[in-house]
Amino acid sequence: MATYYTEPSRTFSEYLLIPGLTTKACTPANVHLKTPLVKFKKGEESAIQLNIPFSSAVMQAVSDHHMAVALARAGGISFIFGSQSIEEEARMVSKAKSWKAGFVVSKSNLTPEHTLADVLELKERTGHSTVAITQDGTPRGKLLGIVTSRDYRVSRDSSAKQIREFMTPFSSLVYGQSGLSLGDANDLIWEHKLNCLPIVDADQNLEFLVFRKDYDAHKENPLELLDENKSYIVGAGINTKDYEERVPALVEAGVDVLVIDSSDGYSEWQSDVIRYVKSNFDVKIGAGNVVDREGFRYLVDAGADFIKVGIGGGSICITREQKGIGRGQASSVIEVAEARDEYFRETGIYVPICSDGGIVHDYHITLALAMGADFVMMGRYFARFDESPTRKLKVNGSFVKEFWGEGSNRARNWQRYDSGGKSNLLFEEGVDSYVPYAGSLQENLDKTIGKIKSTMCNCGALSIQELQQKARITLVSATSLVEGGAHDVMLKESGISGD
Ligand code: IMP
């Protein structure tokens, strides 16, 4: 007879944290979010510790080398998507590993058709006085010129002037080619008395800007996640089909951590991959996804360095509708965290767990951590930023970024979903969608981290480990969910006109 679970499985939105005593030492400035990425023995430290508990999803629409650099610079880790050729994935890993601090993705960008008024508005909003002018106005479009305050004079009738009339055109710019070292970039900056040096690829597409001030103070990212050679720590996704070719190429490219990317990781195929990697390479490997104690134990016994938790909760995921498998994300994390703690008590080995998918509000991250996750993985969250690889479009008057599931026809990631070895997707497990464009990764992360730290102070916790010990978590009723939002008031944005 089938086994029945009498309790329904639950999502993060069904829980809240109850505040604990906040001591005077408990201020956001004193909170740290350091967390282990890979397993370690009692009394020792994890060989890789994240400085913020964030990882970006193994997805085409989320994690390329640009995202890997941006997130490592902020203290987290990206897992570069595996649903591409082995050569391409290895190239992305190698680009991220050879990246040097001081190269930034351009944050203020316009097209030649924009006007001086647009430049002034952008400058007012962002505080940036250097604007890259690209063909499509994106940070990685074809570079056509640069505008700084030296290029224009504001007068009564100048605001409608098109940028093409006053920008410093590409033909007059001093620029560097991709691959240039930071030292050489700095030499060019000094030689030509520049404030900013654009770096372009062979097709004139903008890659980065190097600012004089950033070179002087490129230690301004105190949380950046570096290996012993001062390169960023980089993860990459693999599958259970071509691992004997893919893993050697990724290791050769310098990858620090692999993760087997699968919608259901409780399988003999995953066990085979872990054993193969462990017996041939000195590289860390995470596995998953699982949603219960048995799945956790199986992959840990096979040798996994961390375990990813979650089936069917992803924003673009339709696995539950298509196949009827999955479990509420909160219930999955709670049970797997218990299994992790049991395993630690039995063996003295701590195997970190990652809550993957289904984070909608920032407070869901705090809940996932409080419930026992060591770090979270997010797709939708990161897809909204400048640093994600997809196009930024205007739809119905609002800026959006494209975002599609690995199980959608667009991604054609049959290795992630097919368990029988056929090279096509029989049916889709993900959708193709848009997410609202949200600006730069760092600005958004700062806000999210601010909220997490503030909530941790409410709970009287200065670290994630302390949060996990002290958290008091309550279920909420359907009616108290209504009470949790603004209610019984007329919101001002609702368009009511006054007299
Ligand atoms: P999100 O943070 O809610 O967007 O969830 C991201 C997670 O969804 C990823 O890390 C994957 O585990 C999962 N995922 C990615 N693509 C698909 C898909 O097409 N179908 C089901 N799950 C997916």
297 carries an active-site annotation: no
Nearest to 205 by CA among 150, 138, 270, 258: 138
The CA distance from 336 to 329, in Å, is 11
What is the pLDDT at residue 499? 43
Residue with tokens 């086994």: 3
The CA distance from 327 to 358, in Å, is 11
Q: Which of 11, 12, 58, 59 has most ligand 1 atoms within 8 Å of CB, for mutation? A: 59
Binding site residues, as ranges? Answer: 261-263, 310-312, 314, 317
Which fold does the domain 12-99+224-482 belong to in CATH?
TIM Barrel (3.20.20)
Query: Ligand 1, atom 21: nearest CA belongs to which residue?
Result: 317
> DSSP string of 118-153?
HHHHHHHHH----EEEETTSSTTSBEEEEE-GGG--
Q: SS3 of 12, please?
A: helix
| Residue range(s) occupied by CATH 3.20.20.70 in the chain | 12-99+224-482
- Cβ atoms of 163 and 122 within 8 Å: the answer is no
Burial degree of 435 (CB within 10 A; 0-12, 13-18, 19+): buried
Binding site residues for NAD(+), as ranges? Answer: 261-263, 310-312
Separation of CA 455 and ligand 1 centre (Å)? 26
Nearest to 417 by CA among 277, 208, 275, 267: 267
Amino acid sitting at position 56: S
Which fold does the domain 103-214 belong to in CATH?
CBS-domain (3.10.580)
- Cβ atoms of 101 and 218 within 8 Å: the answer is yes
Spatial CB neighbours of 392, under 8 Å, sequence gap ≥ 6: 138, 386, 399, 400, 401, 437
Nearest to 210 by CA among 232, 233, 194: 194
- Cβ atoms of 236 and 89 within 8 Å: the answer is yes
> DSSP string of 26-40?
--GGG----EE-S-E
pTM equals: 0.81
What is the pLDDT at residue 454? 98
What is the pLDDT at residue 498? 46
The CA distance from 13 to 247, in Å, is 38
What is the pLDDT at residue 306? 98
Q: Which two tokens stand for residue 60?
A: 């085409």
The CA distance from 90 to 262, in Å, is 19
Q: Which of 67, 77, 316 has most ligand 1 atoms within 8 Å of CB, for mutation? A: 316
Amino acid sitting at position 244: E
Nearest to 380 by CA among 112, 110, 63: 63
Using CB distances shorter than 6 Å, the residues near ligand 1 are 57, 59, 263, 314-317, 319, 356-359, 377-381, 405-408, 429-430
> DSSP string of 347-376?
HSEE--EEEES---SHHHHHHHHHTT-SEE
Ligand 1, atom nearest to 407 Cα: 19
Query: Ligand 1, atom 22: nearest CA belongs to which residue?
Result: 317
Could you read off the pLDDT of 432-470 as tens digits, one per residue? 999 999 999 999 999 999 999 999 999 999 999 999 999
Which residue among 26, 196, 317, 457 is the active-site one?
A: 317
Separation of CA 193 and ligand 1 centre (Å)? 47
Separation of CA 417 and ligand 1 centre (Å)? 12
Maximum alpha-carbon separation in the chain? 82
Q: What is the pLDDT along the chain (499 residues), one digit of tens a residue?
A: 999 999 999 999 999 999 999 999 999 999 999 999 999 999 999 999 999 999 999 999 999 999 999 999 999 999 999 999 999 999 999 989 877 667 777 878 999 999 999 999 998 887 788 999 999 999 889 999 999 988 998 887 788 899 999 999 999 999 999 888 777 888 899 999 998 999 999 999 999 898 886 555 455 688 999 888 778 999 999 999 999 999 999 999 999 999 999 999 999 999 999 999 999 999 999 999 999 999 999 999 999 999 999 999 999 898 888 899 999 999 999 999 999 999 999 999 999 999 999 999 999 999 999 999 999 999 999 999 999 999 999 999 999 999 999 988 888 776 666 655 555 667 888 899 999 999 999 999 999 999 999 999 999 999 999 999 999 999 999 888 788 888 888 888 655 554 4
Beta strands across the sheet bearing 131-134: 109-110, 131-134, 143-147, 168-169
| Residue range(s) occupied by CATH 3.10.580.10 in the chain | 103-214
Q: Any idea what DSSP says for residue 60? A: T
Separation of CA 424 and ligand 1 centre (Å)? 19
- Say whether the peptide bond before residue 289 is cis (omega within 30 degrees of 0): yes
Could you read off the pLDDT of 123-142 as tens digits, one per residue? 888 778 899 999 999 988 99
Separation of CA 142 and ligand 1 centre (Å)? 31
Separation of CA 66 and ligand 1 centre (Å)? 20
380 carries an active-site annotation: no
